Structure 1
Amino acid sequence: MGGVTQDWPDVPTQTISRYPPYAKPWPSCGYTHRAIEAALELSARLGPDGASGILSARLTMPDAYFGVAGFRAPETEAQARFSASYCVAAGLVRGAITPRDFEPQALADPAVRALEALISPQLYPLPAGAGDMSPLAPDSLHLTLADGQTLSASVSDVRGGPAKVLSDAELSAKFIACGGLPEEARAFWEADASAPFTQFAGLRP
């Protein structure tokens, strides 16, 4: 018993070290996030309406991750949140991923649906020793455009993870995008770390 008690303080540290937590920047399955980041990078390079010139798209990612986030032509919010191809298409067309991208009207967007259908998954097995969301197993997106140009982006470290921590401003922006009030976000950041959660209630009119 004494040995268990003595070892207990190290258990949380060991668990967090092995399975580090991260803040999700986008409201979808974590296995879609590196693909989303690649799509947003290429969307910025394409510019406004640039996605309309995409002839084909190849999404390369581990088969284990795509097995979870591999819904094609999603019809429901839940399917879309677990669809790497939909998230990539929406990111390329709209230049952002927000909660509104999973509403029925967004799912029916003909531009996004047409582009999602063009995305071809290229899957590969996880390398030996690669853990969950491992940088050893990156996601890549390769586009071929109507003018013959090709664009590529590859993401190894998931955004919001230990290697790409979200800033306070980014966390606040996500909170507000998900329906929170700016006053609530501000109160959270300005509060003492030991403040009870109930302190932030009652801020809504």
Structure 2
Amino acid sequence: MPFTQELAEWVAQAPRSWSPEAIDAAERAIADTIACIIAGAGDDAPLRVMRGLGAWGSHGLASAAGRSTGLDAPWAALLNGTAAHALDYDDVLDPAASHASAVMAPALLALAEEVDASGADLVDAYIVGIEVQECLAEAVNMVHYTRGWHTTLTLGAPSAAAACARLLRLPAAQARNAISLAASMAAGFKRQFGTNAKPFHAGLGAKSGIVAARMAGAGLTADAAVFEGERGFGDLMVGAGAAGFSPAILARLRSGPPAVLAPGLWLKRYPCCASTHRPVDAFLALAREHGLRAADIERVDTLVSDAAVGNLMYREPVNEMQARFSMPYCIAAAAHDGDLKLATFNMAALQRAELAQFMPRVDMQSDPEQPADMPSTVKSWGTTTILTHDGRRFSKTVVDPKGYPDNALDEGELARKFADCARGQPDGVLQSYPAWREIAGQSRLRPLCAILQQVGRPDGAAKEV
């Protein structure tokens, strides 16, 4: 059976029963994404998106962070997806190298509100969408990603369409059309990293998933072999060296744990590009172990993958967005503050003289043992070497940074991340974490999602467009 067809049939027909472990993993990721939406809602990108949406004056059923009135589901997904990814604090799915939940969760939350779905239905669709994205990633990466495509959108849109088709209970033929339509909406270039466009990619992916599923449900058709066919996704956007869209890739759908468990999702410890996390974790571990202060350090050398070098394109960042994609800035901030927090990435922090003086001491190079064509199934790693003024040299390699599936945030750390993201918000927002954390138990999602409308105002009133 052709790849696209078999994928769609699984989306429509897979049993709606998952292990307690899979449900829990999905709930953790969704709660983490809500935290990122709350924290990100006041950032430039979502505020500008909200301003732009004012041109349409929509008053739909779906809630969006900071809006006192509802939006039609595609627009709510666009706004919440942009907010979820605005601070680069949201999760990562490997080997997709994508911010999967920043697309998946906003799409499903908006659509679930619109159709009055349950939390269990949403979690089921989320697990299916992540599984689809994992299959697509195994077919195309790392070739697709290292060519410069931002997989948060290129893989996020069709997998969100699959998830939305699942939530709407579309039959296989319509699910296939939804996935295929969304594949034609898949774009996004890594050139946009460090600009408003990067988080906007997540919003576009969420919006595209809903639109594609709704259009397919209305009978709109699309090509049945969009991934594997000539002049399709693989032919135009991947190239030689990838595994390709072979039905063998889909064997994971029939056996083994779902992707929410294996490989699992990386719920991030730091609000910056994931490519910095391994070297930063290594740096902080060395500093703690050897009692090093910033003043003790002459030089910091970091070795990372080719993909990471491509992502971290700002040696001298001029704004907080660029700072999230700057190895020198992240290491300098870690050296002086002992951590990277939300407050690390604002203009006041960026203008600190001590960070500007430390940044030239930080070097980043490609690790020759991590070539660009390294298989997507092989874990990356990061190495940090610290040279001190008195001649000492310390080095450490990190494979599983804090938050990575094999070194996951514990329950306390996840709850504290939510609380940190919701600091200063109304009580209803602050106290909503337990409900998000156990979202599968919600019989209706509208009351819970409506809490997002309180984001942004101490009195609980939402911002107006």
What's the offset of the Cα at 1:42?
2.4
**Within 5 Å, which residues of 2 pair with 1:95-174?**
95-125=338-368, 126-127=370-371, 128-131=373-376, 134-135=378-379, 137-174=380-417
- Counterpart of 2:235 in structure 1 is none
Greater percentage in helix: 2
Residue equivalent to 2:174: none
Please give the per-residue CA displacement for 1:44-91, whole angstroms capped at 9, x wherever unaligned: 2354x7111101110111122111113112110110011122111111
| Count of matched residue pairs | 201
Instruction: Answer yes or no: is the 8 Å Cα contact 1:70–1:85 preserved in 2.
Output: no
> Which residue of 21, 24, 28 maps to 2:268?
24
Match for residue 10 of structure 2? 7
Unaligned runs of 5+ in 2: 15-127, 135-258, 460-465
Is the alpha carbon distance of 1:46 and 1:52 closer, same or farther for their aligned partners in structure 2, counting shifts above 3 Å?
farther
**Corresponding position: 1:39 with 2:278:** no
C-alpha distance after superposition, 1:100-140 (max 9, x if no partner): 111111111122222211111121353454328x53x3111
Match of 2:448 in 1: 199
Per-residue deviation, 1:197: 6.4
What are the equivalent positions in structure 2 for 1:20-99 lying under 5 Å apart? Answer: 20-47=264-291, 50-99=293-342
Query: Equivalents in 2 of 1:5, 1:185: separation in Å?
Result: 34
Contact 1:140 1:153 in 2 (8 A): yes
Quote how far apart the aligned CAs of 1:183 are. Answer: 2.8
In structure 1, the gaps of 5 or more residues are: none
- In 1, the alpha carbon distance for the partners of 2:314 and 2:342 equals 18
Contact 2:309–2:365 (8 Å) recurs in 1: no
Change (3 A) 1:61 1:186: same
Task: Determine the C-alpha separation between the residues in 1 that align with 2:279 and 2:384.
Answer: 7
Instruction: Report the alpha carbon displacement of residue 148 of structure 1 after superposing the two structures with TM.
Output: 1.6
Partner Cα separation in structure 1 for residue 6 and residue 362 of structure 2: 54
Question: In the TM superposition, what is the alpha-carbon distance from 1:161 to its structure 2 partner?
Answer: 2.3
Identical residues among aligned pairs (%): 25
Larger Rg: 2
| RMSD (CA atoms) | 3.0
2:432 aligned with 1:184: yes
What is the letter of the counterpart of residue 440 of structure 2? A
Q: Is the CA contact 2:282–2:398 (under 8 Å) kept in the aligned structure 1?
A: yes
Q: Which amino acid in structure 2 is aligned with residue 108 of structure 1? A: Q
| TM-score, normalising length: structure 2 | 0.39
**Greater RCO between the two (CA within 8 Å, min separation 6)?**
1
Could you tell me whether the CA contact under 8 Å between 2:381 and 2:398 is conserved in 1? Answer: yes
Letter of the aligned partner of 2:331 in structure 1? V
